[in-house]
Chains A and B, each alone.
Chain A
Amino acid sequence: MSDYNERIALTEGVFYILISLKEPLHGYGIMQNVEKLSNGRVSLGPGTLYGALNSLLDKKWITAWGNTVNSRKKEYVITDTGIEVIKNELSRLEELIQNGRIFLGGII
């Protein structure tokens, strides 16, 4: 069950954060993974990442994982809703790519 607007695009940062959390991961790991996945193109500042993680927690697209009292680093993992979000995002991106290709096909 999703309670979000499927028509609104995600930011790149949020997209990459979500797909980094298939398995539980902490903030630093997320930042590193996003840099790796995007070949250094997308970098997440600590302030940006903090804000994004809190928003994602509020929306319940991710959840805090594990023993957050004792462990020094808090870890996060994607929820089923989050996975739905990614599925819809992919459809949106495919639509963009398709239309973009048609556009360029007409020009080249």
Chain B
Amino acid sequence: MAKQFFTKWRFFYNYEKETVWLNKMAQEGYLLVDYWWTRYTFEKGIPGSYVYALEFLEHMHTHPESQQYIAFLEEMGVEVVGRYMHWISVRKKTEDGPLELYTDTASQIEKLNRISKWWISFSILEFSIGLFELMLSIFTAISGETHSVFPFTTFVLLTFFGFVFLLQAIPLLYKKKQLQAKSNIYEK
């Protein structure tokens, strides 16, 4: 029987929402087999036969350490179906048991740190460039040179996105705090 493939384009800020969506698709028989940024490729298959998760690596997926980790995951029966920058989409056959990459609190906290660190870095980058653009627009206004709205508009846009990215880090940091509280009593 010929394999049927479907492509869907979606953009997610929140990887947990993305994971929920991938598993919902899997429940409906659409199994993710490839992934690139916002392009998701699904194969029609047995509904619920796979369960999906997303992992954020310390390095790019092409890095030797990432490659080692990916090889280990595959040894453990976890298949890597998509790779983009630091993200990998993984899946496991439902019949092989639950898919929990991390079963200890410390690692879960580390993962949240990895992701929130990136959001905060991007946020700082946006704010920094935005500030530069702001100063540029003030300078050109004061010096009386031909006034262009470009720097100021850029400043507004960058500052906006700076806050958007910062906002993405907040739920992650909140979750981290909850896990830290939990680890005060329990080992994991």
Contacts and interface: CB of A to CB of B under 8 A. Distances in A.
Interface of A: 11-13, 26-28, 31, 43-51, 72-74
Given A11-B188, A13-B188, A45 B103 contact: yes
Given A11-B188, A12-B187, A48 B104 contact: yes
Nearest to A45: B103
B69 A50 contact: yes
Contacts of A48: 101-104, 107
Interface stretch (B40-48, B72-80, B163-171): B72-80
Contacts of A31: 76
A46 B107 CA distance: 11
Given A45-B104, A50-B72, 20 more contacts: A13-B103, A13-B188, A26-B75, A28-B75, A28-B76, A28-B77, A43-B100, A44-B103, A45-B101, A46-B76, A46-B78, A47-B107, A47-B111, A48-B101, A48-B102, A48-B104, A48-B107, A49-B76, A51-B107, A72-B75
Interface residues of B, number: 18
Given A11-B188, A12-B187, A13-B188, A46 B104 contact: no
B18 interface: no
Nearest to B65: A54
- Main SS at interface, chain B: loop
B34 interface: no
Nearest to A43: B103
Interface in B73-115: 73, 75-78, 100-104, 107, 110-111
A59 B101 CA distance: 23
Contacts of B73: 46-47, 50
B187 A11 contact: yes
Contacts of A72: 75
A44 B72 CA distance: 13
Given A12-B187, A13-B188, A47-B55, A27 B104 contact: no
Interface of B: 55, 69, 72-73, 75-78, 100-104, 107, 110-111, 187-188
9 residue pairs, one from A and one from B, having the closest CB atoms: A47-B101, A45-B103, A46-B76, A45-B100, A47-B102, A48-B103, A48-B104, A45-B102, A45-B101
B76 A27 contact: yes
A74 B75 CA distance: 9
B75 A73 contact: yes
Nearest to B111: A47
Contacts of B100: 43, 45
Nearest to A35: B97
A73 B107 CA distance: 23
Contacts of B72: 27, 46, 50, 74
